Structures are given as structure tokens and as C-alpha cells.
């Protein structure tokens, strides 16, 4: 009887989640281009709703007698949330929290792991990723953390390129080679003049 009750409750949770996801998916599909000024405002509304849905499903999945359908639905919601966060993080005007979330997920690290490694409170990481604004000092630390994680995925083309030194043109190498040969030739001439001069002095000394 208890098992049947648990199955019924899970079924209701999944049905409600599927209905909500249908609405959120339509909203995501209707989002403007990331360069549009309205993009972040609309995306933030969807992300806020997805966070609440994700939290409810996470709680339901954490129960001792959760069902596979709840787990599957939680996975689907998390994937949809991550996809939109990646998109928002790479868009112009993204928040540090969005950038941090995308970099952290790309690095396959939890909020707790990132907080421990950076020496930051995990509450700060979670608050920023949920839309809170950091102080100036916190923002500097978070930027360093994002860079340490490899940067924001999807923005590689916006980062400064590190160009290798350009090879010298072949004609410069030829000129250098010619100068080297000319130098050898001049050294040879000087050596020959020195020898000839020595011979002349030596010969002159004998005739004196």
C-alpha cells in the first residue's frame, strides 16, 4: 500500500514537472538572439523557474523510496538548465554567476569543490549562480576563479590570441648567410695580409 502511494506521488510530481517543462521549453525557444538587449531579462525568468523546479525534483529524488521516473525527470531538467546557462554565460552582458556556473560545469566540479579550492564560502558560489551580485572584492576573486577553470565555454573566440613569433623571411636568412660568408672571406683576407706583412718584415730584416 505504501509502495503504491509512493508511486502515485512520484507520478504526480513527474506530471507537474513535464507540464512546467513544456512551458519553459516554449519560452526558451522564443528567446531572442543573445545579442538582443531583452535576452538576459527573459532568460533570467526561465532560469529562475527552472531552479525552483530543479530544487523540487532534487528533494523528491533524495527520498529513500524515489522512483526512476523522478530521477529521469530531474536529469532532463538539469540538462535543460545547464544548456540555457551555457547560452546565457556566453552572451554579451552575462553575469559573473552565469559565467562561473558554466565554467564550473564544464570543469565537472561541484559548487562545494570549487568553493574549497578557491577558499570561498559555498553559499557565495550558490548565491552568485542564482543571480545575486558580488561585491567588488568578491567579483575580483570570482574572475580569477573563472580564469583558473579555463574561462567561459563558448567565448574562446573572444579571448586574446597568443601568437607565436613570426619566422624570419627566407631572404633575411639568405642575407645573413651571405654576410657570414663575406665575414669569413674578410677574415681570410686579413689573415693573408698579416702573413704577407710578416713575411715582408722578416725578409726586410734579413736584407738590413
In the chain, where are the structural domains located? 1-94, 96-162, 167-208
Q: 133, exposed or middle or buried, with CB in 10 Å at 0-12, 13-18, 19+?
A: exposed
Decide if pLDDT at 157 tops 90: no
Task: Give pLDDT, residue 169.
Answer: 53
The mean per-residue pLDDT over the stretch 189-194 comes to 47
Instruction: Give the lowest-confidence range in 22-36, 51-65, 153-167, 188-202.
Output: 188-202
Decide if pLDDT at 54 tops 80: yes
Decide if pLDDT at 181 tops 90: no
Report the percentage of the chain scoring pLDDT > 70.
Answer: 71
pTM across the whole model: 0.72
Task: Give pLDDT, residue 203.
Answer: 42
Instruction: Give the lowest-confidence range in 22-36, 47-61, 129-143, 151-165.
Output: 151-165
Task: Give pLDDT, residue 59.
Answer: 92
Q: Is 13 helix (H, G, I), strand (E, B) or coil?
A: helix
Annotation: CATH topology of 96-162? 434 Repressor (Amino-terminal Domain) (1.10.260)
What's the gap between Cα 159 and its chain centre? 10
Decide if pLDDT at 162 tops 70: no
Decide if pLDDT at 199 tops 50: no
Please name which of 68, 85, 77, 82 lies closest in space to residue 18, comparing C-alpha atoms.
77
Task: Give pLDDT, residue 63.
Answer: 83
Task: Give pLDDT, residue 70.
Answer: 93
What mean pLDDT is reported for the chain? 82
Read off the pLDDT of residues 98-144 as tens digits, 9 standing for 90 and up: 999 999 999 999 999 999 999 999 999 999 999 999 999 999 999 99
What are all long-range contacts of 149-152, with beta carbons under 8 Å and residues at least 24 apart?
Answer: 149/103, 149/104, 149/106, 149/107, 149/109, 149/114, 150/103, 150/106, 150/107, 151/103, 152/89, 152/90, 152/94, 152/99, 152/102, 152/103
Amino acid at each position: 500500500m505504501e509502495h503504491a502511494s509512493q508511486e502515485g506521488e512520484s507520478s504526480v510530481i513527474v506530471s507537474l514537472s513535464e507540464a512546467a517543462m513544456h512551458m519553459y521549453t516554449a519560452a526558451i525557444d522564443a528567446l531572442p538572439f543573445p545579442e538582443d538587449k531583452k535576452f538576459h531579462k527573459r532568460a533570467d525568468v526561465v532560469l529562475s523557474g527552472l531552479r525552483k523546479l530543479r530544487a523540487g525534483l532534487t528533494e523528491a529524488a533524495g527520498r529513500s523510496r524515489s522512483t526512476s521516473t523522478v530521477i529521469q525527470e530531474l536529469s532532463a531538467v538539469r540538462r535543460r538548465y545547464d544548456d540555457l546557462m551555457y547560452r546565457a554565460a556566453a552572451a554579451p552582458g552575462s553575469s559573473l554567476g552565469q559565467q562561473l556556473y558554466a565554467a564550473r560545469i564544464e570543469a565537472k566540479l561541484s559548487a562545494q569543490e570549487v568553493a574549497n579550492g578557491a577558499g570561498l564560502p559555498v553559499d557565495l558560489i550558490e548565491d552568485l549562480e542564482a543571480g545575486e551580485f558580488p561585491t567588488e572584492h568578491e567579483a575580483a576573486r570570482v574572475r580569477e576563479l573563472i580564469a583558473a577553470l579555463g574561462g567561459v565555454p563558448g567565448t574562446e573566440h573572444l579571448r586574446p590570441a597568443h601568437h607565436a613569433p613570426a619566422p624570419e623571411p627566407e631572404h633575411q636568412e639568405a642575407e645573413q648567410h651571405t654576410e657570414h660568408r663575406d665575414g669569413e672571406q674578410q677574415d681570410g683576407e686579413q689573415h693573408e695580409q698579416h702573413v704577407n706583412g710578416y713575411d715582408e718584415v722578416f725578409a726586410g730584416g734579413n736584407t738590413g
